[in-house]
C-alpha cells in the first residue's frame, strides 16, 4: 500500500530508465532496403531492371520495323514484277492481234486487186489485165520502198505505235486525192506533149541511180528538205495551244509531202507501162489502200530486206529505158514488162530472205 500511495502522490521512489541508441555509419553508395508492396526490394536493382526492360521495349519495335520494311520492299518488288509481266503479256497479245488483223486486211486487198484484174481481163482482154497487174506490182513494190522512209519519219518524231496507224490513214486519204489529180494532169500532158515521156524517163533513171548509189541509209532527218520546210512553216508545241500544232500534225504534213515526192517516181513508172488513166489510177489505189496494214506487217523486218531497194532500182531503170525506146518507136510488150518487174522484185526478196537465213 505504501508503493501505491507513493505512485499516486508522485513522490517517494524514482525509477531511472537509460536507453542507448547506437547509429552505425552508412556509406552513401549503399542502398537500404525498404518495404514496398508487402515485399522488400532494392532501389538500384529495380532501377536497373526497369532500364533494361525499357531498353527491350524500345529495341523490339525497331527490329520489327526493319523486318516490315524488308517485307514491304519484297512485296513491292513482287508486285512490280507481276505488273511488268502482265503489261508485257498484254502488249504481246495486242501485237499478235494487230498482226493477225493486218494479215487479214492485206490478204483482203490483194485478193480484191486480183479479182479486179481478172474481171478487167474478162471484160477488156488480156492486154488490159496485164497492164493492170504490171502497174499494181510496180506500185506495190514502190510503196514497200516508201515504208522505209515512213519508219525513219516515225522514229525521228518519236511517234508512239498507237498513233502511227492514224498518221498513215491521214496520209493515205491525202495520197488518193493527190494521185488522182496528178494522174489526170499527167494524162492530159502526155496526150498533148509526147516529149514529156523523155522528161519522165529522165526522172526514173535519176531515181534508179540514186537508189544504186545510196549504199547507207540516211537515218538522220534533221537536214531533210521536207522536214525542215514543214518545221519552218508549221509552228509546233508539245501541248495543245491555240494557233500552234502538235508534233503529230507535223508528222502528217511530212508524210503527205513525202508521198508527193514518191508519186513523182511511181506515177511516171506506171505511165511507162500503160497510158490508160483508169488503169493507172486503179493500180495506184489498190496498192496504197493496203499500205497501212502492210506497214504493220513489215515495219519491224524491213531492215532484213537488204536487196529489195537494188531490185527496185533495176525496175525503175528498166521502165525509164522502156519509155525512151517507146518514144523512138521500139515497143516492149506489156507482158514482157510484167515478167521483168515480177522477176526482179521476187529475186530481191528471195535473196534478202536467203541472206537472213544464213
C-alpha–C-alpha distance, residues 220 and 197, integer Å: 34
pLDDT of residue 252: 81
Domain limits, the chain: 96-357
C-alpha–C-alpha distance, residues 253 and 246, integer Å: 11
Q: Residues 331, 346: contact at Cβ < 8 Å? A: no
pLDDT of residue 111: 92
All residues at 6 or more sequence positions from 239 whose CB lies less than 8 Å from its CB, including other chains: 246
Chain position carrying cell 493515205: 172
pLDDT of residue 36: 43
Reduced 3-state DSSP string for the chain: CHHHHHHHHCCCCCCCCCCCCCCCCCCCCCCCCEEECCEEECHHHHHHHHHHHHHHHHHHHHHHHHHHHHHHHHHHHHHHHHHHHHHHHHHHHHHHHHHHHHHHHHHHHHHHHHHHHHHHHHHHCHHHHHHHHHHHHHHHHHHHHHHHHHHHHHHHHCCCHHHHHHHHHHHHHHHHHHHHHHHHHHHHHHHHCCCHHHHHHHHHHHHHHHHHHCCCCCCCCCCCHHHHHHHHHCCECCCCECCEECHHHHHHHHHHHHHHHHHHHHHHHHHCCCCCHHHHHHHHHHHHHCHHHHHHHHCCCHHHCCCHHHHHHHHHHHHHHHHHHHHCCCCCCHHHHHHHHHHHHHHHHHHHHHHHHC
C-alpha–C-alpha distance, residues 55 and 194, integer Å: 104
Q: How do 34-36 and 39-41 pair as beta strands?
A: antiparallel
pTM over the 0.85 mark: no
| Regions of the chain short of the pLDDT cut 70 | 1-74, 83-84, 86-88, 90-91, 214-225, 231, 233-246, 299-304
pLDDT of residue 38: 43
pLDDT of residue 182: 83
pLDDT of residue 317: 87
pLDDT of residue 7: 44
Amino acid at each position: 500500500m505504501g508503493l501505491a500511495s507513493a505512485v499516486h502522490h508522485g513522490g517517494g521512489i524514482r525509477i531511472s530508465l537509460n536507453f542507448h541508441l547506437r547509429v552505425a555509419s552508412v556509406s552513401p553508395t549503399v542502398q537500404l532496403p525498404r518495404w514496398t508492396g508487402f515485399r522488400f526490394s532494392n532501389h538500384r536493382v529495380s532501377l536497373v531492371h526497369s532500364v533494361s526492360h525499357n531498353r527491350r521495349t524500345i529495341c523490339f519495335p525497331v527490329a520489327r520495323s526493319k523486318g516490315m520494311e524488308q517485307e514491304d520492299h519484297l512485296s513491292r518488288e513482287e508486285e512490280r514484277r507481276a505488273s511488268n509481266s502482265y503489261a508485257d503479256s498484254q502488249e504481246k497479245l495486242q501485237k499478235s492481234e494487230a498482226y493477225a488483223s493486218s494479215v487479214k486486211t492485206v490478204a483482203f486487198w490483194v485478193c480484191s486487186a486480183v479479182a479486179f484484174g481478172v474481171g478487167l481481163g474478162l471484160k477488156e482482154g488480156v492486154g488490159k489485165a496485164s497492164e493492170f497487174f504490171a502497174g499494181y506490182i510496180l506500185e506495190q513494190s514502190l510503196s514497200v520502198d516508201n515504208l522505209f522512209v515512213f519508219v525513219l519519219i516515225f522514229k525521228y518524231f518519236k511517234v508512239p505505235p498507237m498513233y502511227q496507224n492514224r498518221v498513215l490513214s491521214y496520209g493515205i486519204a491525202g495520197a488518193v486525192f493527190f494521185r488522182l489529180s496528178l494522174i489526170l494532169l499527167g494524162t492530159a500532158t502526155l496526150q498533148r506533149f509526147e516529149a514529156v515521156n523523155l522528161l519522165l524517163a529522165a526522172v526514173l533513171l535519176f531515181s534508179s541511180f540514186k537508189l544504186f548509189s545510196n549504199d547507207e541509209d540516211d537515218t538522220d532527218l534533221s537536214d531533210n528538205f521536207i522536214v525542215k520546210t514543214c518545221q519552218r512553216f508549221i509552228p509546233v508545241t508539245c501541248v495543245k495551244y491555240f494557233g500552234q500544232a502538235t508534233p503529230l500534225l507535223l508528222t502528217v504534213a511530212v508524210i503527205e509531202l513525202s508521198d508527193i515526192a514518191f508519186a513523182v517516181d511511181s506515177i511516171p513508172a506506171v505511165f511507162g507501162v500503160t497510158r490508160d488513166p483508169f488503169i493507172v489510177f486503179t493500180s495506184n489505189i489498190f496498192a496504197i489502200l493496203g499500205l497501212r496494214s502492210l506497214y504493220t506487217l513489215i515495219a519491224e523486218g524491213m531492215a532484213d530486206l537488204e536487196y529489195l531497194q537494188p531490185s527496185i532500182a533495176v525496175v525503175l531503170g528498166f521502165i525509164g529505158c522502156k519509155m525512151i525506146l517507146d518514144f523512138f518507136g521500139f515497143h516492149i510488150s506489156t507482158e514482157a514488162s510484167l515478167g521483168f518487174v515480177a522477176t526482179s522484185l521476187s529475186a530481191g526478196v528471195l535473196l534478202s530472205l536467203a541472206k537472213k537465213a544464213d
